[in-house]
Each structure stands twice: as structure tokens, then as C-alpha cells.
Structure 1
Amino acid sequence: MKEKKRKEIIESAIKLFAENGFYNTSVQDIVTDCAMSKGAFYNYFSSKEELHIAIFQYYFEQMSTRTIEIDKENLNPREKMKKQLGVPFEELTKHKEFFIMYLREQSFSINKELREFMEKAQFETLTWYERNLKDLYGENITTFIGDIILLIEGMKQSYLAAMLFHDLQMDVDLLPNFLMNRIDDIVNAFQNGEEPIIKKSNLLSSFPQCSFGNMDRIEKASLLLADMQEQLENMKIDEEQRDGLAGVIDFLKGELKKPNLEKYAFQGMLANLKEIKEFDIYREKIAALLDVQLL
């Protein structure tokens, strides 16, 4: 019940912020729309600023949930990625007025909590790109995958901006296929000898000064393990194997909470995940973050 009311407050705030703006919408406006007292509001959020952060978490969770739903569909890697590329455009179409308001009033400060959330979201997005691109095109794209990710994001953000700033009417059903065709062109160019701009294979390590570089290595490793858990839930494997792998991931999450990391224990448990090819990218990233040699 509490979670349902919390969602109601968030959705009311999204509507009112879109109609009146962030500054011009008071907590009283929100509680009136939700038919609740101001005192009750503070049982859910300590301030309007905390509610603001919750809205961004809400949008990211909506997109993550939709992405996971597509993961569960019986699709080949290309169809899956194409469909998932369309998720941000679907969300923008549903809540366009809110995003216009946010960009118009973006002068209000981004506090520490919101910045940290944005860093985590960006880190997870880059990891998603790397995993899906390797599933689709194979490991041989590793040397130029950083360029591919930046070019995809550049195209995607440009179309999102055109929808917002210029109110261009686009067929969002056609956009994912169009983007996939352009990704094919980019990959073909590199495979035919185009020199990559980014010399390192890992985009995260190529740009240590980017905002997500502020996250510490333990936090990054924790996010990767959480992503592995989600992947595991959607894998078509027998329950005994799933339970065993889930136990390994839980053990690793517990190790990360200890004041002193036991590298040998971590090394041994990461080796138990070798049986799942989809986990290779995570094992490599976690090992690099924690300075652990993979077995």
C-alpha cells in the first residue's frame, strides 16, 4: 500500500511539474492533487528535492523494467537490441511535457544524491551497450567498441533532442530499425579497416574523468553483480544451476561489504561463473576494478 501511494505522489508530481514547472509547483499543490495531507507527504519524501530525485529513479526503473521484459522475449540478439533501443523514445513520447519542462528549468541545482544516481544510470547503460553489442557482433568488435557506443549515443540523443527542442514528429516505431542499420554501417566500417579513435577497448576506463568515474570501484562492482542477477533470472537454464550461480553472486556481494577484500576468495568464486558465457564481460570488468587475476 505504501509503495502504491508513493507511486501516486510521483506520478502526480510529474503531471504538475509538466503543467506548471518545478519552481511553480509546491508540495501543497502535489498533496492537494493526491488528496492527502502535507504531513502525510513527509512520510514518503523529506522534501520536494527528494521527490525530484525519485522521479528520475522512477523513469530509469520504468525503462529498466521494459528492457528486462524484452530480454525475456524469444528474440535473436539483433531483434532484442533493436526493440530495446526504442524504449527511450517510447518513454519520451509518453512524458514529453515533463522532459521539456525539465530542460527549460535545468538551472535548478543537481544535488549530490541526484548526481550519484545519474552516474549509476550512466554506468549501467554503458555496460548494457557493451554486453549487447558483443552478443550481436561478437568479441572481435572489442577494439573499437568504445567508438561504437559513443556514436550510438550521439545518434540517439540527437533524435531525442529533435523531438524535444524542435517538436519534430517522428515515427518512433521506425527509429529503432533505422538506428540498427546505422550501427551495422559503423561496425562494417571498422571491420573494413576504419581506425578507431578510442584506442582502449573499455569505454569506462578510456574516460576516467567522466562523471561516472566518481563512483568508487566497490560501488561499480556491486552494480555489475546486480546486473548479473537480473540476467540470471532471465536465462533458460535448469533451476539447480540457477540456484548455484545465484549463491555465487550473493557470496560476492557479501564479500564487497567487508572492510577488507579477500582477493583470493573473490578470484575463486568468479571462476565458478565461467560456465555462463554471458557473464564473461562482467567477470572481466569486476576483475579489472578489484585488481583480481581471473582464473
Structure 2
Amino acid sequence: MNNKRTHILECAMKLFAEKGFHHTTIQEIADKSGVSKGSVYIYFRSKNDLILSIVEHNFSMIQEQMEAWNQTGLPAREKMMRKLNVYLGILQSRKEFFIMLIREQGMNLNQDLKRIFRDFQVQTHTWLGTSLEEIYGESIRPYRWDMTIIFEGMLHSLLRMWVFGRSEKDISVFSTYLLERLDDLAKGLLDRNATPLIDEKTYPHSFRDFCSNNGLPWKEVRQLLDQMETKINEEPSERLQEYLHTLEILRKELDKTEPDPLLFQGMLANLKGVKALDPIRQKVATLLNIQLI
């Protein structure tokens, strides 16, 4: 990465952490970087472009260093420990980045930034889930998502305490503590034969709906499809299986990272034969900004 561009990124990140994204101006970033305002615009089109580049740069750094440990022949538990040390180590050395993320949690994310957050979280959840099965075996698979979400909550809570409480504890102390709590959690779930709160079907839907890449209200669309199925079953028809198959196709489309509204436009036309569905079809069309055909 260009040295001047990197320098501007670092200065902007510190200002965003200190003052907040919306209260920092391009002129202030230029002044702190020791360059002209025009020079900032040579490398970045806007403040949004700046924060996008900051997040992308730091997430890529974390992913690359953690991925390096996948190429080793270390036991699963040791590999997990090393990855945690990398994750915590980068955030320790780049506290401004973590503070910036916390400060801007409520900001209105543009689609590119939302995509980066989504992809990073998917990758993080994937390596956590894989690591859990490698450490505790296949018996832990039903609890993979429960443990991933709980672990993520513990990790981020400890990070907040660490960053803002100025803890002097060594990184390995935190990593060891987190792994031991995972041991406790795994043992408790398995001993109790607990019913998982989040399963393989629930997690992908809720996560994808929350992080939808194109900003459309897919969660509401999914609920409307459920209403359609109820109506179809209430009015028996010779085309019952055809209608249900249409809904199944639409649900499979919802399982994609970026569902296609135009496919919905075509498939909704197949449901014109059920009068009771007309108001619901119109709601879906309105949500997706498409015309019924």
C-alpha cells in the first residue's frame, strides 16, 4: 500500500476514534496528515471512502495473519490459542481501530461497508465453528452456533474492558481464559443434553436478513411467504403442489447472499390463481420495488 495513503488512513482512523466519524472533517484529516486537502482527495473520494478503506485494511490484516496459522500442523486447541493471540494482539496494537468501531456502531452503513462487516463476521463465525468441532469433536456440532455467538459476546465484552479499562494483563491471559470458558460451556451443554437455541436453519436466515447486502427487507418478505403458504393450504386447489413448489423456489432464492428481485417478479405471477394471495403479493412487490405481472 502507498506510504502516503497509509499515513492518511492511520491519521483519519485516530481522528475518527477521538472525535467520531461525523465530527471529523477532511481538512482536519489533511492537517493531521501534514498534507493538503487536495492530496487527501487524490487517494480517497470522500470520508465514506476513507472509513471503508480503514475497515477493509484492518480486517484484511487480521484475516491474513489468522489464516497463516491454518497452514501449520499444530493441534486444534493450540491453533485456536494462536489465532486468538493474533486477533487480540492486532487490536491491542491498533486500539484506535477498535474504539472507532465502537463509536460508530450506530452509524448508517453504506452497502460496501455493510458487505465488509458481513463478510468478516461470516469468516469469523466459520473459523470459530470449525475450531469448536476440531477441539471438541462432532458431538459439539448441534451447539456450534450457540457457542459461536456466546463466545463472540464474551470476546467483545472483554475487549471493551481491556481497551477502555487500560488492563495491563498479557494477551495470553485473555486467550487462556476465553478457551477455558469454552471448555465450561461445551461440558455444560453436552452434560445437560441441552436443546440448541440456534440451529443450522435459524442462524443463516437471521444473520443474512440482518446483513442483507442489497438493503432490501428480506426478513419481511420471508414472513409474507409464510402467510402465503397458510392461505394456500386453507384453499385446496388442483394446483396446490405447484403453488407450494413456487414458494419453495422463492425461499431457496432467499437463502442466497443476494436474492434477485426479478426472480420474485416472475414467480409471483405463478400465484395469481389464488385470489386470497393478491394483497400479500402486492405487499411483496411494494417491498421489493417491482411490478406484479
- TM-score tier, shorter chain, comes to 0.5 to 0.7
Question: What letter matches 1:8 in structure 2?
Answer: H
Q: Determine which structure has greater relative contact order: mean sequence separation of CA pairs < 8 Å that are 6+ residues apart, divided by chain length.
A: 1
* Structure 1: 5+ residue stretches without partners: 217-258, 260-295
What does residue 65 of structure 2 align with? 66
What does residue 160 of structure 1 align with? 159
Q: Return the TM-score normalized by structure 2.
A: 0.63
Percent identity between matched residues is: 31
Q: Is 1:49 paired with 2:33?
A: no
**Aligned CA-pair RMSD:** 2.9
How far apart are 1:41 and its partner, in Å? Answer: 2.5
Q: Deviations over 1:203-238 (max 9, x none)?
A: 6336356523x248xxxxxxxxxxxxxxxxxxxxxx
* Structure 2: 5+ residue stretches without partners: 215-259, 261-293
What does residue 88 of structure 2 align with? 89
Question: Structure 2 CA distance, aligned partners of 1:110 and 1:143?
Answer: 33
1:202–1:174 distance in 2 versus 1, CA, 3 Å: farther
How far apart are 1:13 and its partner, in Å? Answer: 1.5
How far apart are 1:67 and its partner, in Å? Answer: 0.2
What does residue 284 of structure 1 align with? none
Question: What letter matches 2:61 in structure 1?
Answer: Q
Q: Secondary structure at the match of 2:8?
A: helix
Matched residue pairs, number? 216
What does residue 29 of structure 1 align with? 28
**Larger displacement relative to structure 2 (202-211 or 152-161):** 202-211
Q: Where do 1:259-270 residues align within 5 Å?
A: none
**Larger displacement relative to structure 2 (199-208 or 127-136):** 199-208
Q: Deviations over 1:19-56 (max 9, x none)?
A: 44434432233334444443333232110111011111
Q: Is the 8 A contact 2:11 2:29 kept in 1?
A: yes
How far apart are 1:81 and its partner, in Å? Answer: 0.6
Q: Secondary structure at the match of 2:169?
A: coil
What does residue 191 of structure 1 align with? 190
Question: Structure 2 CA distance, aligned partners of 1:203 and 1:136?
Answer: 24
Question: Structure 1 CA distance, aligned partners of 2:49 and 2:62?
Answer: 20
Q: Is the 8 A contact 2:17 2:103 kept in 1?
A: no
Question: Structure 2 CA distance, aligned partners of 1:150 and 1:23?
Answer: 30
How far apart are 1:195 and its partner, in Å? Answer: 0.7
Q: Is the 8 A contact 1:143 1:200 kept in 2?
A: yes
What does residue 40 of structure 1 align with? 39
Q: Deviations over 1:170-225 (max 9, x none)?
A: 3322111111111122222233233133262466336356523x248xxxxxxxxx
